Amino acid sequence: MSRVVITGMGAVTPLGNDVKTFWRHAIEGANGAGAITRFDASQFRTRIACEVKGFAPEKYLDRNEIKRSDLFTQYALYAASEAMEDAGLDLSSIDPFDVGVIWGVGQGGMETFEHEVTQYVEGERVPRFSPFFVPRLIINMASGLISMKYGLQGINYTTVSACATSNTAIMDAFNYIRMGKAKAFITGGSEAPITPASIGGFSAMKAMSARNDDPQHASRPFDTDRDGFVMGEGAGALLLEEYEHAKKRGAHIYAEVVGAAMTADAYHLTSPHPEGRGASKAMELALAEAGIHAGDVDYLNPHATSTPVGDISELNAVSKAFKHTENLSISATKSMTGHLLGAAGAIEAILAVKAINHQVVPPTINTVHLDDAIPKGMHIVTGDALERKVNVAMSNAFGFGGHNATIVFRGI
C-alpha cells in the first residue's frame, strides 16, 4: 500500500485563525473561553463558550461564497484555503479526478436552520424561506464547496460520527490514498455550534460546564472539580498526499499518517464505556496498523472533554492499550480551545503534528488537582508546555453513540 503524508494545514480556532497563531497560542497555554457574544445567553444554564475571534472570511472567500454558506462552511473553506496555499499543490499538473475532499461535520448549519425557522414562526407563517436555506443547512455542502472552489473532481463526501467526525474523515482519506484511489485529499472538519438551540440542548443534558462566573477556568480535563465541557467552534484542514507524489514535487512534508482505526462502544446513547473497552481497542488497532509498539508513542492528544465520566473512561482505555505509560506524555488541549465537536479531531491532529515538528508537547491548562481515579503512572502535562522528543503522536476522538476514532502520526 502507498504511504500517506501531510503536506498542508489550515486552521480557524478560538486560539487563532491560522496554523502559526494557533500553535503559538497553544504552546503559550492561551485560553479561548469567555462569555457568549453570538447571542443573548443570559437565561441559559451555560453562558460561556470558546468563540472564534476576529474571523475575516473575505481573506479567502469571495462575496458569493459568504452569501451562500453557513458559518460552518465558511470556516471549512477558509481552513481548506490555508491548507492548499501551504501545500503549494499545482492543480494544473494533476488530474482533477485524483484529488478529493472528505470533510467532517457533526451538526451542520444550525445557525441557518434556527434563523429561518424563527423567522417563519415569529412572522405571518407565510413560507418565505431563503432559496439558500437548504444549501446553507446541509452538512455535505462544506465538502461540495471546497471541491467547487478548486475544481477537485475526485472522491467527495462528508463524514458524521458526532465528535469523532473529523478523525473519521482523516482516516477515510488516509485509506483511499493507501489503496491507490486518489493522489491527495483535503480533509478535516468544521463546526459552528454556538447557537441558542445547540447551547440549550447540551445544557439540558448537563454535559457542559456551568462555571459562568469563571469561564477562563471552566474547561479543566482530569481535574477533580471539572463539571463538563466548554463549547468551541472553528475548523481544521489537512492536505493528505501520496508520499511518492509529494516527494516528486518537492513538497514540504510535516509528518506521515501511519495508522488509523475506529470501533464502537455499543454501550450507551451518550456515555462512554466506563472501562474504555471500545476506545482501548481503537488505539490498539491503530498502533497495530502503524506497526508501532505502544511504548514508542511519545505524545497523546486525548479526547478529554472535561466531563466527569468521559475523562476517566479514556484514561482507563489508555491504561489498557499501553500497559506501561512511562514514555507517554498526555495533554488535553480542549482545556484551551474548548470542544469543537465535529471539528475537534482536525485541530487536535494539527497540534499532534506540530508537536512532532517542534518537539514540544502543549500543556493542559486549568488542571490543578488531578482526579484520584486516574490510573497510576499517567503523565499529564499540566501548567507549561513540555520540550521533549516527539517522533510518534496519537490523537483520539470519541462521540455520542459510542464512536471511537484514533489516528497515529510519525515524523519523517
Read off the pLDDT of each residue in 103-116 and give the average, rounded to a whole number.
96
* Same domain, yes or no: 24 and 90: yes
Identify the band that residue 193 occupies on the pLDDT scale cut at 50, 70 and 90: very high
Answer whether residue 124 shows pLDDT above 80. no
| pLDDT tens per residue across span 50-102 | 999 999 999 999 999 999 999 999 999 999 999 999 999 999 999 999 999 99
Answer whether residue 200 shows pLDDT above 90. yes
Which residues lie across from 157 on neighbouring strands? Answer: 102
* Same domain, yes or no: 265 and 244: no
* Same domain, yes or no: 244 and 372: no
* Same domain, yes or no: 323 and 194: no
Answer whether residue 172 shows pLDDT above 80. yes
pLDDT at residue 399, as a whole number:
96
CA triple 328-21-301, angle to 5 deg: 20
Contact 361, 36 (CB under 8 A): no
> Does 253 fall in a domain?
no
3-class SS of residue 112? helix
Q: Which one of 25, 163, 245, 403 is the catalytic residue? A: 163
Q: How far apart are CA 260 and CA 238, in angstroms?
A: 15
pLDDT at residue 123, as a whole number:
84
Is 303 among the residues known to form the active site? yes
* Same domain, yes or no: 277 and 235: no
CA triple 299-23-380, angle to 5 deg: 30
* Same domain, yes or no: 240 and 271: no
> Does 331 fall in a domain?
yes
Which domain-ending residue is among 213, 248, 283? 248
Read off the pLDDT of each residue in 211-220 and give the average, rounded to a whole number.
98
> Does 358 fall in a domain?
yes
| pLDDT tens per residue across span 295-305 | 999 999 999 99
Q: Which one of 25, 273, 339, 403 is the catalytic residue? A: 339
pLDDT at residue 125, as a whole number:
79
* Same domain, yes or no: 18 and 160: yes
Q: Which one of 245, 273, 303, 403 is the catalytic residue? A: 303
| pLDDT tens per residue across span 359-407 | 999 999 999 999 999 999 999 999 999 999 999 999 999 999 999 999 9
Read off the pLDDT of each residue in 326-349 and give the average, rounded to a whole number.
97
* Same domain, yes or no: 212 and 130: yes
pLDDT at residue 273, as a whole number:
87
Is 50 among the residues known to form the active site? no
* Same domain, yes or no: 55 and 17: yes
> Does 255 fall in a domain?
no
Domain count of the fold of the chain = 2
* Burial of residue 412 (number of CB atoms within 10 Å: 0-12, 13-18, 19+): middle
Q: How far apart are CA 173 and CA 176, in angstroms?
A: 5
Answer whether residue 323 shows pLDDT above 90. no
* Same domain, yes or no: 239 and 373: no
Identify the band that residue 261 occupies on the pLDDT scale cut at 50, 70 and 90: very high
pLDDT at residue 73, as a whole number:
98
Contact 7, 89 (CB under 8 A): yes
> Could you tell me the CATH number of the domain that includes residue 77?
3.40.47.10
| Other CB atoms within 10 A of residue 380 CB | 20
Answer whether residue 329 shows pLDDT above 80. yes
pLDDT at residue 275, as a whole number:
85
* Same domain, yes or no: 69 and 167: yes
**Chain-centroid distance, C-alpha 178:** 22
> Does 127 fall in a domain?
yes
Is 115 among the residues known to form the active site? no
User: In terms of residue numbers, what domain contains 294?
Assistant: 261-410
Q: How far apart are CA 202 and CA 193, in angstroms?
A: 10
Answer whether residue 409 shows pLDDT above 80. yes
* Candidate from 233-237, 258-262, 269-273 with smallest mean pLDDT: 269-273
Strands 4-12 and 234-242: antiparallel
| pLDDT tens per residue across span 279-289 | 999 999 999 99
* Candidate from 51-55, 170-174, 275-279 with smallest mean pLDDT: 275-279
> Does 256 fall in a domain?
no
Which domain-ending residue is among 248, 270, 295? 248
> Does 150 fall in a domain?
yes
pLDDT at residue 312, as a whole number:
96
> Does 192 fall in a domain?
yes
pLDDT at residue 274, as a whole number:
85
* Same domain, yes or no: 288 and 209: no
Identify the band that residue 128 occupies on the pLDDT scale cut at 50, 70 and 90: confident
* Candidate from 168-172, 189-193, 228-232, 324-328 with smallest mean pLDDT: 324-328
Which domain-ending residue is among 248, 281, 296? 248
